[in-house]
Structure 1
Amino acid sequence: MTHAAPGARAPADRREAVHGGVRVTAAAAAGFYGCLYGLDRPVMALYALFGAVAMGLLARIPGSGRQRAAVLLVTLPLGWVLVSAGTLLAVHTWSAVAGMAVVGFCLAFAAVAGPRAAGAAPGLQLLYILPSFPPYEPGTLWERLAGYTLGALLLTASERFLLPVPPPGATYRGLLADAAALAGTAAEQLSAVPPAGPQRGTTPDELAAAGERLRPSQVPPAERPASAARTDRALSHAAGAVRALLGQLAAMIRAAPPGAARCPDPASAALLTAVADACARTASAARHPSAPSPYGAHSGDPPELRTAVETFQQARADSDEADGGRPPAEVLGRRTAVLAAAQTTRILAAAVDVARGGRRPRPLFPDSDLFSYADAGALALWRSRLLGHLTRSSVQFQNAVRITLGLCAARLVAGAFDIEHGFWVLLAVLTLGRSTAVETWSTVRSALLGTFAGALAAAALIIGAGPSRPVYAALLAPVMLTAFAAGALFGPAWGQALFTLVVSVAFAQLAPVTWQLAETRLLDVVTGSVIGLACSLLAWPAGARRETVRSMGRLLHTTALLLEETTAAVLRPPADAEGPPPSTLAARHALRLAEASFAQYQSEPHSTAREGPHPDFHAVDVTARQILLGAHWLPYDMRPRDGGPGPRSRTWARQTAAALAGTCTRLGDRLLAGRPPKTPHPEPAEPAGPPDPDDPALPVLLDLDVWFTGVRSALAPALAAADRPAGAPDSGEHPRA
């Protein structure tokens, strides 16, 4: 976890840092004093103290006070298992190391389950680390469990009732509903003739801002739909659909002539009216998930919109107006944009219905794997998520391996050399390690300076106070409060310095100590820091950047195949049932891995000069989503009754798809190779001629053309960024995700 500079913190963040220190101090002090001085149980007191510190300070559970308290209660049985395992495996160093390997990897890998699991994992690690060191005393297990339970319950009550974190102002469902409602308003405006005189309608910037508010980085961690559960997957799916819809509507608003009828075509206006109605109903369904479905038994596919789409597609396939002639090209182009928005709205409505507890929408794209997760059980979804990240390509896997290696090495060193208070070595590895070697060194350097200062202060205190327990008892609570708040406010140096005082004051009450306790603390932190730094240097020292580059390259390769497969499916005549629709499973899996890498990459500090290509990761992500959006519905577009496109149009479509796929593949090759380009990359090749304007399948071909144009536009920034020389500045290289 990185620490912002004190001056960069908002007042709310500073206030919460102090409030968090108060909550942890209250729970830890109450448990420690009560067990030590009320029950005369030193072991129980120690575990009450560290149980509260582990889950309140080391763990970073996101959410409101109520949400944090719920997570603490849910993880309480797991804590019992970890304390028991640590106690029993402490019999031998090798058994403790083996247990550390299993526990360390499983808890670190739990980050794939979402922010809450990732936040609780470090605290749970400490619950195994603390009892896994000598003395081996299984007879004290009940005291350890009782102490931990008391500390955890006190912390739960503190999080819930003592200066609790208020709930967020807007939930993810609320943001999704707001975005869907705004999309409905924009569609309604597009379907009507603007009134004369000054007017104020929805602007493209407002639509873009509504989409940006749904980005994960703009949402509190506890509100992000990041787990493998069907509800979260459906909410994430719906967010992607509504953002795409907002972009489509914004493009139509920009293309509309000022002051003129935005949609003079009656067929398009009718379909936009159906889109507006479906968006309004979808917004209500998202905002009130327990209310009856606004679509009845139609599984989230709005019946009026589905009927409007079928009528619209039939009219386009017939390509006849009342006077018997084909509509102008601009009308056909507008119809293509309106149909794309309508199909995206159907996906949005279906995803929201699945998030409300529905199942796979039918008859929405019945042969598509778009909603393959909707019928899967919870175990199948979690198994797919876990197995999908058990790969060298996953940053969660890389982080779990790095953390596990560091903890196992620290436990082995502490056991082999019989280091006193060896759990401090592992605690240093756990708290000071970062995902890049540079950041780890920066953190370790600050922490060592702080620990040295804290050790000097602790030694002076122990020498001055001697064996006087009342002095230490009086100092513990204020020192804890200062340490827990200062660490969050001012960074690792202050945190380590004051935490050294905390442990010294606490241990001085458990047994007689000398100034050498502070020396032991300093040596343990140095040992842990060296081990953590070595692991950071040996295991993926550059953090997520290289993996992000590689994952974006693999994503481009996968979606390039999907481009050509989708085009081939669209070109098949309606009567030709040969071949299944293109599968998007591989592309969506590659997209999830790439986005996970990108999210970690954005959380890491960056150097202005780096070797290798400098892709615009956000542009690659948008390109992949643009390809997936077309692959989801274009193969199911209605074809003309008399057959598919003619030879000229087929050649055009295949050449365009091949050119775009080749560009994606070559850019992917460059990213996977990790080398800067010797010469600028060419723009995507344009085929010689457009589709045949007299082709009976022209409306469908225009759908393809709009799709190709969108992919080409999304890809252009990625090409420009990849062509930029190494070390050249790029203000758009690290956009918010």
Structure 2
Amino acid sequence: MWHRGRPEGHARSWRTLLPAPSSRAESAGAARRAVRVTVAAVVGFYPAVHLLDQPVFALYTLFVPVAFGLLSPLPGSGRRRAGTVLRALPAAAALITLGTYLAAATWAAALGMLFVGFVLVTGASIGPRATGVVPALQLCYILACFPPYAPGTLGDRLAGLAVGATLTILCEWLLLPEPERPSYRGRVAGGLELAERAVRDLLRGGADGRETAERLRTAGRELRFSRTAAGCRPTGAGAKDRALAQAGYATRRFLDLLAALAPLLRAPADLPSATLLRGLATACADTAAALRGTRPPPGPEGVEEMIAQYAAVRGVPPDLREDPHALLRRQSTLLAAAVSAVTVSAAVALATGPRRPMPGLPLEQFWYAGASTPRLWRVRIADHLTPRSVVFQNAVRTASGLALARLVAGSLDLSHGFWVLLGMLTLGRTTAGATWSAVRSAAVGTLIGSLAAGALLISAGDMTAVYAALLVPMMLVAFSVGPVGGPAWGQGLFTLVVSTAFAQIAPVTWELAEARIVDVLTGSAIGLVCGVLAWPAGARGEMRRSAAALFRATAPLIRVTVERAATGRSAPGTRADTATTLRRAMRYWRTAHASYAQLRTEPPPRHAADGGPDWLAGLNHGSRVLVGTYWLPWSQGTAWPSDAASWAREATDEVVSATLRAAHFPADGVTVRLAPLPPGVLTRLPAPSVSHLVDVEVWLHALASDLTAAVGPGSSVEGGFR
């Protein structure tokens, strides 16, 4: 019954029913969780059954800890998990009340399931805590919406919820609590501290540039969400999470740009670059200290001032006798790194301090700074109210499957019909192939578990003491092995647990095991049908569509940005259009990120070919376009000479054309041919236009490199550098 959202492999043989290999940490975590859930469940269940003789109350005291402690992947430490359960209690009580009254008719309960399922899955997009409690909240409605229709038992149900949730909170908080994991704040702070040390060592000439570059790139890769535990990722819709996520993205760019500079910084060729580097090292140390809570956030103003001073004095020294191109390219890369440092400082100030306006920074980049939390939730949900969103697709798939399962269970009057919905809920996956793999394993596990449960019920008969003695060890084994062993072990062991529990609530026979098989297979079949009919490819097809939409949305931004720099003014009539295009590109970038996040949880295709699109490079391309649109310098009122402007337009046409071709993901990749700068143009352009021309050159080459990496193995960059 576990592994919701966990990648499952294909073609798992029925003969390999041993627990899947797992890390020692994963097994230890499952064992701690099993102890907490078992204690929370039996402390309420045993008195309710054997002392109070309250079967409804007992059922809820048993299943609420299982729902919140085991079925729901609650993120964070023990204290945070306890707080999540506490905040979810009002919603759980409302869903139990709704389900109790809608149980009067099958059609009403099914429509309620459709509504509840869609709202919960869509609303879960506001953050990891909401995502974690969704399965438990769904189970609260599922338990209540099945016959018998008994509004008079609502008090017992809510009392069982209160007792079960209270015991769950206490156990999560006090009994073998989950240890604190390294926070994302700490990871970002560590990356900034590494950058500070690297810059200072390079300026002193005491470090090897290539080794330093590799350390910086490795630190940047560690900031990917795929390298961070799910509960530690700042994926919420609130301002703090948005700011911390933005700080992570910007820190990764900063580290990558420093890595490109590291081999060239052992002896900086110009004093302005050395001065800016020292200032960036200090800013990194101050920002890291703010993330660790040892000082107030410094804000972006200091780095902005350093950038303005650097932009005013950088350029070609009059005594330089060699080709100035290499120097200008280093300066442009350093300026891009400093711009990323501005974003880091501003985002950290928002993530660690009070909300405040960010004057001088692009409004679109920090649009969330002054928005209220309810508005940010509405924006996040509105982003996903489109058939092109994987969140919307998951909501439709889950809600329709649960509603159909409730309709079938009610129409056929299946005994213990809520197991139908539980089977569909826990075995459903985002791809048809993964669902089929899980269903096959679960069917075998349920069959074996039902045979064992039937044998137990026949041999023990109505000896309640036997079932009471077996419940605790069975729960400990099932809840320890099931989460790490796979669907077969999970379903088989859970069948034994529910059989020993129900045998204490009311007299049962071996037919309970038979009903378990029928219900789980029915729910599995419904989940499989929904998986085949509703977006069976999961996020894979949507990732392709959202990446293509992102490429098409960013193409016009590239042209407007370069035209702005070449003409020395904003392109006529494009300001409003650019703002609209920016918002559209940002929306597609967020949608593509959601698709990529789900794609990381899905198994690869059975016969996946090597190579293919690099989705992360495509997302980096979109991010680089947006950053360049905000920050690429330009000299107001200063137009470039005709040959420089012609080169810029031709190079822009090439990159824009490649971006639009990339949206079709050609099998042979994308080739980008960027001509070199016109001969002698760097000696004829005055400062600061000569620096801005090289800024554009570096930016376009970086975009070309992202495109060719994103689209496939047949790509290459000709005439440029990476």
Change in 2 beyond 3 A, CA 1:207/1:464: same
Q: TM-score, normalised by structure 2?
A: 0.92
Residue in structure 2 matching 1:65, options 71, 78, 82: 78
Match of 1:540, SS state, is: coil
Aligned residue runs from structure 1 range 137-536, under 5 A: 137-168=150-181, 170-190=182-202, 192-194=203-205, 203-256=212-265, 261-288=266-293, 291-294=295-298, 300-303=299-302, 305-316=303-314, 321=317, 328-359=324-355, 362-365=358-361, 367-536=362-531
2:13 alignment partner in structure 1: none
User: 2:78–2:173: 8 Å Cα contact kept in structure 1?
Assistant: yes
Match of 2:53, SS state, is: coil
2:556 alignment partner in structure 1: 561
The 2-side partners of 1:54 and 1:465 are apart by 28
User: 1:360–1:372: 8 Å Cα contact kept in structure 2?
Assistant: no
Q: Deviations over 1:498-519 (max 9, x none)?
A: 2112111111111111211111
Aligned residue runs from structure 1 range 609-628, under 5 A: 609=607, 614-628=612-626
The 2-side partners of 1:41 and 1:175 are apart by 50
Change in 2 beyond 3 A, CA 1:336/1:472: same
User: 2:429–2:435: 8 Å Cα contact kept in structure 1?
Assistant: yes
2:585 alignment partner in structure 1: 587
User: 2:297–2:353: 8 Å Cα contact kept in structure 1?
Assistant: no
Task: Tell me which amino acid in the other structure corresponds to 2:183.
Answer: T
Change in 2 beyond 3 A, CA 1:666/1:579: closer
User: 2:68–2:85: 8 Å Cα contact kept in structure 1?
Assistant: yes
- The CA deviation at 1:186 is 2.7
Match of 1:372, SS state, is: coil
The 1-side partners of 2:208 and 2:264 are apart by 17
User: 2:20–2:485: 8 Å Cα contact kept in structure 1?
Assistant: no
- The CA deviation at 1:600 is 1.5
- The CA deviation at 1:576 is 8.3
Q: Deviations over 1:448-474 (max 9, x none)?
A: 111111111122211111112112111
User: 2:287–2:345: 8 Å Cα contact kept in structure 1?
Assistant: yes
The 2-side partners of 1:281 and 1:357 are apart by 14
- The CA deviation at 1:419 is 1.4
Structure 2: runs of 5+ lacking an equivalent: 9-17, 717-722
Q: TM-score, normalised by structure 1?
A: 0.90
Moved more, 340-349 or 609-618: 609-618
The alignment of Structure 1 onto Structure 2 pairs a total of residues equal to 696
User: 1:615–1:722: 8 Å Cα contact kept in structure 2?
Assistant: no
Change in 2 beyond 3 A, CA 1:630/1:490: same
User: 1:394–1:597: 8 Å Cα contact kept in structure 2?
Assistant: yes
Change in 2 beyond 3 A, CA 1:377/1:517: same
Percent identical among aligned pairs is 43
User: 2:662–2:670: 8 Å Cα contact kept in structure 1?
Assistant: no
The 1-side partners of 2:343 and 2:152 are apart by 59
1:720 alignment partner in structure 2: 712
User: 1:320–1:326: 8 Å Cα contact kept in structure 2?
Assistant: no
1:601 alignment partner in structure 2: 599
Task: Tell me which amino acid in the other structure corresponds to 1:98.
Answer: L
- The CA deviation at 1:3 is 6.6
Match of 1:354, SS state, is: helix
- The CA deviation at 1:546 is 0.7
Match of 1:111, SS state, is: helix
Q: Deviations over 1:386-419 (max 9, x none)?
A: 0001111111111111111110000011111111
- The CA deviation at 1:210 is 1.3
- The CA deviation at 1:323 is 6.8
1:297 alignment partner in structure 2: none
Match of 1:134, SS state, is: coil
2:14 alignment partner in structure 1: none
Structure of higher RCO (CA pairs closer than 8 Å, 6+ residues apart): 2
User: 2:250–2:343: 8 Å Cα contact kept in structure 1?
Assistant: yes
User: 1:63–1:220: 8 Å Cα contact kept in structure 2?
Assistant: no
Change in 2 beyond 3 A, CA 1:595/1:213: same
User: 1:35–1:42: 8 Å Cα contact kept in structure 2?
Assistant: yes
1:686 alignment partner in structure 2: 674
2:719 alignment partner in structure 1: none
User: 1:320–1:327: 8 Å Cα contact kept in structure 2?
Assistant: no
Change in 2 beyond 3 A, CA 1:613/1:397: farther
- The CA deviation at 1:371 is 1.0
User: 2:7–2:602: 8 Å Cα contact kept in structure 1?
Assistant: no
User: 2:662–2:711: 8 Å Cα contact kept in structure 1?
Assistant: yes
Q: Deviations over 1:486-538 (max 9, x none)?
A: 21131111221121121111111111112111111111111111111111111
User: 1:545–1:601: 8 Å Cα contact kept in structure 2?
Assistant: yes
- The CA deviation at 1:638 is 5.1
Change in 2 beyond 3 A, CA 1:575/1:504: closer
Match of 2:671, SS state, is: coil
The 2-side partners of 1:254 and 1:607 are apart by 40
Task: Give RMSD over aligned pairs.
Answer: 2.5
Match of 1:684, SS state, is: strand
- The CA deviation at 1:687 is 3.9
The 2-side partners of 1:638 and 1:185 are apart by 32
User: 1:189–1:201: 8 Å Cα contact kept in structure 2?
Assistant: no
The 2-side partners of 1:575 and 1:517 are apart by 74
Residue in structure 1 matching 2:566, options 543, 547, 571: 571
Q: Deviations over 1:575-605 (max 9, x none)?
A: 9887538443322221221122112212211
Task: Tell me which amino acid in the other structure corresponds to 1:394.
Answer: S
Change in 2 beyond 3 A, CA 1:497/1:7: closer
Task: Tell me which amino acid in the other structure corresponds to 1:281.
Answer: D
- The CA deviation at 1:180 is 1.4
User: 1:573–1:639: 8 Å Cα contact kept in structure 2?
Assistant: yes
Q: Deviations over 1:245-288 (max 9, x none)?
A: 111111011234xxxx5212011111111111111111111211
**In the alignment, structure 1 residue 52 sits paired with structure 2 residue 65:** yes
**In the alignment, structure 1 residue 94 sits paired with structure 2 residue 94:** no
Change in 2 beyond 3 A, CA 1:608/1:430: closer
Task: Tell me which amino acid in the other structure corresponds to 2:699.
Answer: W
Q: Deviations over 1:643-702 (max 9, x none)?
A: 22122222211221121111011110x14xxxx64xx34511324753832123211111
